[in-house]
Amino acid sequence: MALLTQAPKGTQDLLPRQAAGWQKVEAVLRAQAELRGFGELRTPVFEHTELFQRSVGETTDVVQKEMYTFTDKGGRSVTLRPEGTAGAVRALLEHAAYNEGLPQKYYYFTSCYRYEKPQAGRLREFHQFGVELFGPGEPAADAQVILMGGAIFRALGVKGLSLHLNSIGCPACRAEYHKALHAYFSARAAELCETCRGRLERNPMRILDCKNPDCGRIAAGAPRMTDYLCADCRTHFERVQEYLRAAGMEFTVDPSLVRGLDYYTRTVFEFISTDLGAQSTVLGGGRYDGLVEEMGGKQTPALGFAMGLERLMMVLQAQGVALPGPRPSDVYLACADEEAKACAVRLAEMLCAHGVAADYDACGRSLKAQMKYAGKSGARAVIVLGGDELRTGVVQVKDMATGGQQPAELGAPLDEAKVAALAERLR
Ligand code: ATP
Ligand code: MG
């Protein structure tokens, strides 16, 4: 029976009392993106498996261990998206959106799927808000995206997040760095975890991202990418930092920051919270100048970030940021009898048509119980409909905050203009 009454491990429901808070947060994120010229992108929940293998990268945990991949009834291998960037690049190419001119600036809200060990802040179905910019190669774009992250947290009233920043260079300078890393880790291979020994040959940078404490200790002494940057990458990274400083954005250059996905180049960054325990990264992103070409397009600089909405909500909760609950009724229509109910059904729809949230009882409650329910539900006003009201067409509008009553004429039968006047008062 538990199969019928328990959601799959690592997933969660949002009931209206929680979803209302999410809606508020989503509205802030949407507004911040649109202020900076981003438009919403919606892509499918599943894509061809090859898309993620190619873009996220064969050596990543996501591709090696975490994807929800299955064969559909037509024999195709499809995968529930583990992240949003691959789909965005695919959509850009499929619709040749770059022909509309660059930059192309997208934001998205997606559900993502990763077969991970569920724990606080780590789910199998989670949600991201993300942005992607295609076209801008200049460090000013890195600054815009990072500053937008900062602005989002400010707009939401979140405090105490630290911005970690690094550059992981371009394929040219990274080749040298890989050699240095390989030499360093080879000498200490016996102390590495088994996964990292496997990473040594294929992608030694992944070792820097390992969550095993022994590997972490060894990684702390590893050569730093920032010492291997080529002149162009170095200049780019310095500019990004200058722009951030000029904008008053505090940050820490963190040489151990490499990010979990293979497609990054140059700037990578994370916003980290101290309110989250082990799963402390709320937002992560960076540049991926090679990905569009890798996927079959023209060389196109690009960058973006994604934030985990569950983790964001956890930070908001930990910091006591108040979020709204579901919208209460503007007016509750309490009915004395069946005839009054017929009037309430019609009146409620007329009020709703004017944008007034109006509701009534359909659970067979007594008038007294309806009044109690109205009070508990947080309705702002109550109108009692009974024999007198139906005959005279005049009702009393009770303000639930003050307890005061004001008459309102609605007509008998209900008169459209008079209901509109009441709606004006109740809105
Ligand atoms: P982590 O190191 O925590 O596993 P990641 O590097 O895998 O993160 P990204 O792929 O960059 O994460 O995803 C961006 C953001 O999405 C993360 O910073 C985090 O807020 C969120 N996120 C990633 N995986 C999960 C998950 N399994 N459950 C909830 N949120 C997640
Ligand atoms: Mg991960």
Pocket of ligand 1 (CB under 6 A): 83, 114, 116, 121-123, 126, 128, 259-261, 279, 281-284, 306-308, 310-311
Q: Does the structure show a pLDDT above 80 at 260?
A: no
**Gap from CA of 213 to ligand 2 centroid (Å):** 16
Q: Tell me if 128 sits within 8 A of 113, measured CB to CB.
A: no
**Gap from CA of 290 to ligand 1 centroid (Å):** 22
Instruction: Report the half-sphere exposure of 230 (CA within 13 A, side-chain side).
Output: 12
The residues, ordered by sequence, that sit 6+ positions from 179 with a Cβ below 8 Å of its Cβ are: none
- What is the rounded CA–CA span in Å between residue 322 and residue 403? 27
**Gap from CA of 93 to ligand 2 centroid (Å):** 26
Q: Does the structure show a pLDDT above 90 at 287?
A: yes
Give the count of beta carbons closer than 10 Å to the beta carbon of residue 332.
Answer: 28
Residue 271 φ/ψ, nearest 5 degrees: -100, 120
- The pLDDT value recorded for residue 259 is 81
**Gap from CA of 57 to ligand 2 centroid (Å):** 13
- What is the rounded CA–CA span in Å between residue 19 and residue 177? 46
Q: Which atom of ligand 1 is nearest to the CA of 311?
A: 20
- Quick check: bond before 204 cis, omega within 30? no
Rounded to the nearest 5 degrees, what angle is found at the Cα of 307, between the Cα atoms of 131 and 235?
Answer: 60
Q: Which residue's C-alpha comes closest to atom 26 of ligand 1? A: 122
If you average pLDDT over each of 41-45, 212-216, 222-226, which comes out highest? 41-45
Q: Note the pTM of the prediction, 2 decimals.
A: 0.93
Q: Tell me if 207 sits within 8 A of 219, measured CB to CB.
A: yes
- What is the rounded CA–CA span in Å between residue 409 and residue 304? 57
**Gap from CA of 139 to ligand 1 centroid (Å):** 25
pLDDT digits (tens, 9 = 90+) for 374-398: 999 999 999 999 999 999 999 999 9
Average pLDDT, the chain: 95
Q: Which atom of ligand 1 is nearest to the CA of 306?
A: 14
The residues, ordered by sequence, that sit 6+ positions from 220 with a Cβ below 8 Å of its Cβ are: 256
- The pLDDT value recorded for residue 298 is 96
Q: Does the structure show a pLDDT above 90 at 426?
A: yes
- Domain 2-170+230-318 maps to which CATH number in 3.30.930.10, 3.20.20.70, 3.40.430.10, 3.30.420.40? 3.30.930.10
Sheet containing strand 39-40, strands side by side: 39-40, 104-113, 125-134, 302-308, 281-287, 265-272, 162-167, 252-253
**Gap from CA of 114 to ligand 2 centroid (Å):** 8
Task: Categorize the per-residue pLDDT at 277 as very low, low, confident or very high, splitting at 50, 70 and 90.
Answer: confident
Q: Where are the domains of the chain?
A: 2-170+230-318, 331-426
Q: Tell me if 181 sits within 8 A of 223, measured CB to CB.
A: yes
- The pLDDT value recorded for residue 206 is 87
Q: Which residue's C-alpha comes closest to atom 11 of ligand 1? A: 284
Average pLDDT on 124-139 reads 98
Q: What is the 3-state secondary structure (H, E, C) of the chain?
A: CHHHHCCCCCCCCCCHHHHHHHHHHHHHHHHHHHHCCCEECCCCCEEEHHHHHHHHCCCCHHHHHHCEEEECCCCCEEEECCCCHHHHHHHHHHCCHHHHCCCEEEEEEEEEECCCCCECCECCEEEEEEEEEECCCCHHHHHHHHHHHHHHHHHHCCCCCEEEEEECCCHHHHHHHHHHHHHHHHCCHHHCCHHHHHHHHHCHHHHHHCCCHHHHHHHHCCCCHHHCCCHHHHHHHHHHHHHHHHCCCCCEECCCCCCCCCCCEEEEEEEECCCCCCCCEEEEEEECCCHHHHCCCCCCCEEEEEEEHHHHHHHHHHCCCCCCCCCCCCEEEEECCHHHHHHHHHHHHHHHHCCCCEEECCCCCCHHHHHHHHHHHCCCEEEEECHHHHHHCEEEEEECCCCCEEEEECCCCCCHHHHHHHHHHHC
Q: Which residue's C-alpha comes closest to atom 24 of ligand 1? A: 122
* CA quadruple 230, 232, 233, 238: dihedral, nearest 10: 120
- The pLDDT value recorded for residue 263 is 83
Q: Which residue's C-alpha comes closest to atom 5 of ligand 1? A: 260
Among 387, 395, 393, smallest CA distance to 426 is for 395
Q: Which residue's C-alpha comes closest to atom 20 of ligand 1? A: 308
Average pLDDT on 207-235 reads 93
**Gap from CA of 281 to ligand 2 centroid (Å):** 10
Residue 108: strand pairing partners? 130
pLDDT digits (tens, 9 = 90+) for 56-65: 998 888 999 9
Give residues whose Cβ lies within 5 Å of ion ligand 2.
260
| Inter-helix orientation angle 194-202/171-186, to 10° | 140
Among 46, 35, 41, 89, smallest CA distance to 70 is for 46
Give the chain's radius of gyration (CA, Å): 28
- The pLDDT value recorded for residue 419 is 98
Q: Does the structure show a pLDDT above 90 at 256?
A: no
Higher per-residue confidence, 235 vs 275: 235
- The pLDDT value recorded for residue 1 is 64
What is 331-426's CATH topology?
Answer: Rossmann fold (3.40.50)
